[in-house]
Chain A
Amino acid sequence: MAILSLAWKSLLNRRFTALLTLISIALSVTLLVGVERLRTEARASFASTLSGTDLIVGARSGPVQLLLYSVFRIGDATNNISWESYQDIAAHPKVDWTVPISLGDSHRGFRVLGTTGAYFEHYRYARDRRLVIDQGQRFEDLYDAVLGAEVAEKLGYQIGDAIIVAHGASDVSFARHDDKPFRVSGILARTGTPVDRTVHVSLEAIEAIHVDWQSGARIPGLSISAEQARAMDLTPKAITAFLVGLKSKIATFQVQRFINEYPEEPLSAILPGVALSQLWDLIGIAENALLIVSAFVVVVGLFGMLTALLTSLDERRREMAILRSVGARPGHVFALIMGEAGVLTLLGLVSGMALLYLSLILGQPIIESRFGIFIPLGGPTPYEWILLGAVLVAGVLVGSIPSYRAYRLSLADGLSVRI
């Protein structure tokens, strides 16, 4: 339509303010859709913090608590699982593999996790990705430790460095296992999961550092050196939890029931996926708040357009009189301003999306390595289309305010040109 080309030329004429308005709309659109995409991917990536594991088993407790200490290293177990029960369940015919987990110690704020080589074989995160040793190797010697990427980076450790493990979560001098120092044998590649913040040692090592301890304190008068401990029987007496992989997923509920009704001691078996989404629902409120804030940023961007258009109206009353003199209706004047608002909003949407994809292309590798979140570059999802449509509708609504004012002005002014 003729009036749209007028709107376009008018915007070009005021390209500086138009560009500023456009940028603020574009940035707000980038933020809105970016936050939406990030939160969807964060949810997906959170849901796959642990994948490939069919059941997590621990002492009887709620699923979220079990998930928190076994996967996220947050909080503590109420009780342990005896080594015999673990052996018994691991031997269940439907069970393919198990990964034992023994928690309770820490190193300078990072949790120490005792496990076996099976951990490196079967632990999966994201879309079936396995742990990769970035430097060095798995634990070979009794006093070897494999560090998560963040532990090594934050504390500046390299292969061969000695580390002292402390009893419990707090690192205080009287609770240090300083008679039995560990050596860093390997460092894992970044995963973006709690594995990055974990110090891994063997189950036997956990046993060894506790041979002369009882109920969280050294046994007075008893001191067994690191070398003496090597000669002892280091079979664990208990573990904290274990991960289970089944031969067939069909058996999941059958094995879960078997464990939940295990007669020797009270145990809980949980489905990681279900527990993860329960947990996300607890913390998902923040994610919604973020989306609401970015929606408000869009509103602020559109108000910038409103201000720019409204302040331009007074200096454009002459232009409107000229248009009226060549036969333009007040409706045309409305359409002219509306056209400008529409063009600004549409261009803002398009360049906002372009900016989003550009920053995704640039930021994708960084986000993936830092946070373990892989953001795919696919086209907008249906929900994103709804967001974009809502921005367009809001732009048109906001644009109708100056358009209506221009309509009223041109109706009142007619051909008299006032400044």
Chain B
Amino acid sequence: MVIEIEDLEFRWQPGAPRVLAIEDLRVAQGERLFIKGPSGSGKSTLLSLISGVTTAATGSVRVLDQALERLGSIKRDHFRADHIGYIFQMFNLIPYLSVVDNVTLPCRFSARRRANALSRSRDLDTEARRLLRQLDMDHPDLHRRAVTTLSVGQQQRVAAARALMGAPELLIADEPTSALDADRRESFIQLLFDECRASGATLVFVSHDASLEPLFDRTLDLAAVNRAAPPALAGMGEG
């Protein structure tokens, strides 16, 4: 199992209402999981827990057979650097780094991903360009441009290349397509699938766009699974 969640209860502050209460959630290796749920239902919070940025006071979150709550915060940051690629909804790129530097960024924080990247290509920049080429971003002119001048779709592909850099086992994408139009949305997801298949990575994909659902192996409706969700929101989730 890549992700195993048991009896998880999470609140942002002690005494605050529960945001998440999940009894059991498992994601197998190579699986492509679609998580849907209305806004505020705790999707991003769940991803924070899986990527070890926050930990829950009760329950267990195991990623790649490692119980994250047993690790100290520094170890968890290391763990994330080594094993997880993360894609945000938009504005994924560091404005003062070039396209290639943005893609190689994880290798600055993880020796493991650096080694993985170097086992594929002769240097990090070459590996970054290889990934960009796979994602249809191989025009050298694009690499030279300031990242802030790229279109949203192009930025998301650079972000995907960064998440894939150094072959992490788990790819997490938090609504990465919500700023894209329908056509680009699907081709972006296909590219992501291809790359995950090629590297054997597991994909956890969050969106409230139910039309993407059929593309994935499995769907998780957070509103249904999350026992902490207020009824009003849970109801919205069904609609």
Contacts and interface: CB of A to CB of B under 8 A. Distances in A.
Interface string A310-343: 0000000011011111111101100000000000
B101 to A, nearest CB: 8
Nearest to A414: B53
A12 B92 contact: no
A326 B162 contact: yes
Nearest to A14: B96
A322 B106 contact: no
A95 interface: no
Contacts of A14: 96
Contacts of B91: 318, 417
Interface residues of A, number: 25
Given A6-B108, A327-B78, A415-B51, 7 more contacts: A13-B96, A14-B96, A325-B51, A326-B81, A326-B109, A327-B84, A327-B106
Q: Which 7 A-B pairs have the closest CB atoms?
A: A327-B81, A13-B96, A327-B109, A325-B86, A2-B108, A414-B53, A329-B77
Which range holds the interface residue count of chain B?
A: 20 to 34
Contact of B105 (A318, A321, A326): A326
A340 to B, nearest CB: 11
Contact of A322 (B84, B88, B174): B88
A341 to B, nearest CB: 16
Nearest to A7: B96
Interface string A348-389: 000000000000000000000000000000000000000000
Nearest to B105: A326
Interface in B70-109: 73-74, 77-78, 80-82, 84, 86, 88-89, 91-97, 101, 105-106, 108-109
Contacts of A9: 96-97, 101
A69 to B, nearest CB: 67
B66 interface: no
6 contacts: A13-B95, A319-B94, A325-B51, A325-B80, A327-B82, A415-B47
A417 B101 CA distance: 21
Contact of A417 (B78, B88, B94): B88
A323 B101 CA distance: 13
Contacts of B82: 327
A10 B77 contact: no
Contacts of A322: 88, 92-94
Interface of A: 2-3, 6, 9-10, 12-14, 318-319, 321-329, 331-332, 414-417
Nearest to B102: A322
User: Which of B48, B53, B82, B84 neighbours the largest number of chain A CB atoms within 10 Å of its CB?
Assistant: B53
Given A319-B95, A322-B92, A416-B48, A327 B53 contact: no
Nearest to B90: A417
Contact of A415 (B53, B96, B105): B53
Contacts of A318: 91
B53 A323 contact: no
B44 interface: yes
Contacts of A328: 77, 81, 109
Interface in B109-125: 109-110
Contacts of B93: 322
Contact of A323 (B51, B84, B94, B95): B94
A399 B156 CA distance: 34
A352 B44 CA distance: 48
A10 B48 contact: no
B126 interface: no
B54 interface: yes
A319 B109 CA distance: 15
A102 to B, nearest CB: 75
B110 to A, nearest CB: 6
A329 to B, nearest CB: 4
A320 to B, nearest CB: 10
Nearest to B73: A329
Contacts of A324: 53, 77
A332 B109 CA distance: 10
B110 A12 contact: no
Contacts of B108: 2-3, 6, 326
A416 B44 contact: yes
A9 B95 CA distance: 10
A321 B88 contact: yes
A48 B80 CA distance: 70
Contacts of A331: 74
